[in-house]
Amino acid sequence: MAGKAPESDPVQDAPEVSGPKHSAVGLPAITNALRVSRQQMGVKRTALTLLRVNQKEGFDCPGCAWPDPDHRHAAEFCENGAKAVAEEATLRRVTPDFFTSHSVADLAKRSGYWLGQQGRLTTPMYLAEGADHYSPVSWERAFDIIAEELTDLASPDEAVFYTSGRTSNEAAFLYQLFAREFGTNNLPDCSNMCHESSGSALTETIGIGKGSVSLEDLHKADLIIVAGQNPGTNHPRQLSALEKAKANGAKIITVNPLPEAGLERFKNPQTPRGLAGGGTALTDLFLQIRLGGDQALFRALNHLLLTTDGALDEDFIREHTYGFEEFAAVARDKLDWDETLRATGLTRAEIDRALGMVLASKRTIVCWAMGLTQHKHSVPTIREVVNFLLLRGNVGRPGAGVCPVRGHSNVQGDRTMGIFERPAPAFLDALEKEFGFAPPREHGYDVVRAIRALRDGQAKVFFAMGGNFVSATPDTEVTEAAMRRASLTVHVSTKLNRSHVITGARALILPTLGRTEKDVQDSGEQFVTVEDSMGMVHASRGRLAPASPHLLSEPAIVCRLARRVLGETSRIPWEEFAHDYAAIRDRIARVVPGFEDFNARVANPAGFALPHAPRDDRRFPTATGKANFTAAPVEYPDAPEGRLLLQTLRSHDQYNTTIYGLDDRYRGIKNGRRVVLVHPEDARALGLADGAYTDLVSEWIDGSERRAPGFRVVHYPTARGCAAAYYPETNVLVPLDHTADTSNTPASKSVVVRLEPTTV
Ligand code: SF4
């Protein structure tokens, strides 16, 4: 019945396995989307709500950051978008009575799936020191408790202000403003764990840490390389764009350790062929690469381009780039093919075939996600991708460019609004000029450093704007112990999750409005804005009545908290901002480049594109004023004999740490999450039959080990030597210090593991 949460925790984990699928979406996506929506919202609310997702006068999908086409379908959402909306617009409620009947100790034993299925939080809840049950608290008292803790700190840097990528531009701008007026740059965000490596590499090489292509560019490209990304599950509407590009004559190369159904064949439910026919084959060349072998692959392609007559765009290189000679000297003269084939696990013939497709292409785009960003050498890998595109002038012209595909719906917007522990001096100067206070200049903690600071007692208050920090982060036991050392943990949330039950000495849960809900302030109904993965900014207007009369919007929470903590010393008009969000946008327009006339421009239902110098006019605001070639040594992870390289990943019934269900339809797994995908030959060599149970034990360079017990072995066509399992269950295996160079992103895509007979 809609609105009824499962009582027993269904995660008994008895997975049924039927083998990978070779096509994605189609009718099953519709039936699944409607089934989940009806279970959470009922029939009428489902119809009302889903027909407003991603519509010009509607609300932005709280799922991923894929852009909206100018022409919107009546149903402009994917299966996972529907699940994300249903989870937020659910009729299920977590009321104070729920917390009376469930102690924190009891909730801590529950699965993330079960916690998330309980529904929307309705009331501010407080866990007093020594208590085992949350109890209701007034907003005033909640702000008092936070103010007490924050003002008692020896330094503002003992506080950490975390942001999840669902936070709107307006809330994010206010949040960073509050944290900085309070006195700290401790503003870690989920981007630290996902595309930080992309930001670092792109800022250095092209001068801006964002993708340079629009949706139209994808449709115009004649070669699209999709590397380390699984759009079928994580950005499903991207498949429509790939299908359109194919219809326009494009070729697609997929680079991935796993064959993913969404990149094999797309059954577009918006078309008869997709609903009843065979759909559209997408991938023309599948390069089943070893985990972390991407830098070696792009270096090999660059070597071949440098040694093929007429392959380079010499005018572009001469006019717009820097460092070509140094790079060419390395890539042209120093390639070791044996090492390349070992690192990639590919054959020379496969790489030559890819070269043929590259040479035949006039407009190439490379799309990527976590498969490239979560390795120790991710930053040099993404730099090598940029080298690859610069060699043929594939930046700053239609149908060509870099396309890091962002995860959370506004993760790029939050960064643009100043949610960054290493803010640019120019941004801080603009804040100081606009608001008349001196923001801190010392860099703050990113996610990994924040965990270390909590672990080591240097940080005492943890405040999260959305998200599920303890489940999203690596080294689970270390992170949970660190969180428990805090004096206060605060979560602004819509739904229950594990971070609410792994608490500091005291804890608060502050329930907030969802993106689907009306946000009415004193001046009337408000809208917020978001920025998608391609730099388009548009409005999002909630339409549903709030899940409870006790909810506050994210901007209202920040404004009231800021006034309570900073008092009358703060000359920032927090009340004016809470009264009317247009006032926030007027300030953003004066502080953040590209947002001039923000309120006027966002009135356009399609929104507006932010400037992107490399894309717009081949201007590269780098240290050299040019696009930079870089010549890093090729690196790749390796596993000793009898060990495998493990990547953590999502199932199809999952969005980041939110578990919608226990199936992974495209990989043929049903009703279970503790599975490890292993190549049959590797499994046989390890003496592991399909269906056997094993413990995963990660081995770290300092000799330490981490164990995740009780995984069902699934013989699966992965790349040789590479295994895969879901997070958050396997985050426990990723050492806190196992991070990418430069970006400090947890290297969750290449963890050395051994598989032992299970101990459970
Ligand atoms: S592709 Fe992403 S943004 Fe679009 S509906 Fe699906 S989850 Fe939402």
| 628-644 mean pLDDT | 97
**CA-proximal residue: ligand 1, atom 8 (nearest):** 81
Cα 120 to Cα 36, 470, 484, 521, 550: the distances in Å are 16, 19, 25, 21, 12
Strand intervals (E) in 347-435: 364-368, 401-404
* pLDDT exceeds 80 at position 10: no
Element holding 345 (H helix, E strand): none
The preferred substitution site among 64, 79, 411 for testing ligand 1, maximizing ligand atoms within 8 Å of CB, is 64
**pLDDT tens digits for range 697-743:** 999 989 999 999 999 999 999 999 999 999 999 999 999 999 999 99
In the three-class reduction of DSSP (H, G, I as helix; E, B as strand; rest coil), residue 190 is classed as: helix
Distance 259 CA to ligand 1 centre (A): 22
CB 304 within 8 A of CB 312: no
Q: Are 636 and 293 in contact (CB under 8 A)?
A: yes
Dist. CA 191 → ligand 1 center (Å): 18
**Positive or negative, the Cα torsion across 378, 379, 380, 383?**
positive
Question: Which atom number of ligand 1 is nearest to the Cα of residue 237?
Answer: 1
Place of tokens 């449709």: 219
> How do 461-465 and 488-493 pair as beta strands?
parallel
Which one-letter DSSP state was computed for residue 498?
G
- Looking at the predicted structure, is the pLDDT value of residue 11 above 60? no
Q: In this structure, which residue's CA is closest to atom 2 in ligand 1?
A: 64
Quote the CA–CA distance of 183 and 429 in Å, as a whole number.
15
Token representation of residue 314: 């010499």
510-556 confidence digits (pLDDT tens):
999 999 999 999 999 999 999 999 999 999 999 999 999 999 999 99
Per-residue pLDDT at 422: 98
Give the long-range contacts of residues 691-696, CB within 8 A, separation 24 or more: 691/17, 693/757, 693/758, 693/760, 694/755, 694/756, 694/757, 694/758, 695/755, 695/756, 695/757, 695/758, 695/759, 695/760, 696/646, 696/725, 696/730, 696/733, 696/753, 696/754, 696/755
* 3-state secondary structure at position 6: coil
Percentage of residues of the chain with pLDDT beyond 90: 97
> In angstroms, rounded to a whole number, what is the distance separating the alpha carbons of residues 693 and 92?
35
Q: At what angle do helices 554-566 and 169-182 cross, to 10 degrees?
A: 10
Architecture of domain 644-757: Beta Barrel (2.40)
65 CA closest ligand 1 atom index: 3
- Alpha carbons 382 and 201: distance in angstroms, whole number: 6
Ligand 1 atom closest to Cα of 238? 1
Nearest CA to 536 among 60, 43, 24, 50? 60
Residues 181-238 have pLDDT tens digits of: 999 999 999 999 999 999 999 999 999 999 999 999 999 999 999 999 999 999 999 9
Name the token pair of 374: 């979560």
Of all helices (H) and strands (E), which one includes residue 727? none
Mean of pLDDT over the chain: 97
In the reported structure, the alpha carbon of residue 335 is separated from the centroid of ligand 1 by a whole-number distance in angstroms of 40
Choice from 30, 54, 72, 237 to test ligand 1 binding pocket (greatest atom count within 8 A of CB) = 237
What is the Å distance from ligand 1's center to 694 Cα? 35
State which fold the 196-405 domain adopts. Dimethylsulfoxide Reductase; domain 2 (3.40.228)
CATH architecture of 93-190+410-519+526-572: 3-Layer(aba) Sandwich (3.40)
- CA 69 to centroid of ligand 1, rounded, Å: 12
Pocket test for ligand 1, best of 32, 52, 61 (most atoms within 8 A of CB): 61
Residue 2: pLDDT band with limits 50, 70, 90: low
Structure tokens at 255: 């680079």
CB 648 within 8 A of CB 732: no
- In this model, does residue 1 exceed pLDDT 70? no
Residues of the chain with CATH 3.40.50.740: 93-190+410-519+526-572
DSSP letter at 440 equals -
Beta carbons within 10 angstroms of residue 466's beta carbon: 24
User: For 424-437, what is each residue's pLDDT tens digit?
Assistant: 999 999 999 999 99
- Ligand 1 centre distance from Cα of residue 237 (Å): 6
**pLDDT value for 758:** 85
CB 96 within 8 A of CB 124: no
Pocket probe mutation, ligand 1, options 37, 87, 235, 412, max atoms within 8 Å of Cβ = 235
Ligand 1 atom with minimal separation from the 84 CA? 7
Q: Where in the chain is the domain with CATH 2.40.40.20?
A: 644-757
Total count of residues recorded for the chain: 760
State the amino acid at position 35 in one-letter form. R
Reference 479, options 756, 42, 160, 717; nearest CA is: 160
Nearest ligand 1 atom to alpha carbon 532: 3
Q: What is the reported pLDDT for 701?
A: 87
pLDDT in tens, 252-263: 999 999 999 999
Closest CA to 624 of 390, 407, 456: 390
Give the model confidence (pLDDT) of 46-61 as tens digits.
Answer: 999 999 999 999 999 9
Spacing, Cα 81 to ligand 1 middle (Å)? 5
CATH 3.40.228.10-classified regions of the chain: 196-405
* Pocket probe mutation, ligand 1, options 80, 83, 266, 652, max atoms within 8 Å of Cβ: 80
Ligand 1 centroid–CA 78 distance in Å is 6
In the β-sheet with 461-465, what is the strand arrangement from edge to edge? 135-136, 125-127, 506-511, 488-493, 461-465, 159-163
Residue nearest to atom 3 of ligand 1 (CA): 64
Predicted TM-score (pTM) of this structure: 0.97
Ligand 1 mean position, distance from CA 582 (Å): 27
HSE at residue 175, side-chain half, CA atoms within 13 A, is: 33
The yes-or-no verdict on residue 649 having pLDDT over 60 is: yes
Query: Pocket residues for ligand 1 (CB within 6 Å)?
Result: 61, 63-64, 66, 77-78, 80-81, 84, 235-237
CB 701 within 8 A of CB 658: no
Atom of ligand 1 nearest to the CA of 77: 5
Do the beta carbons of residue 651 and residue 80 sit within 8 Å?
A: no
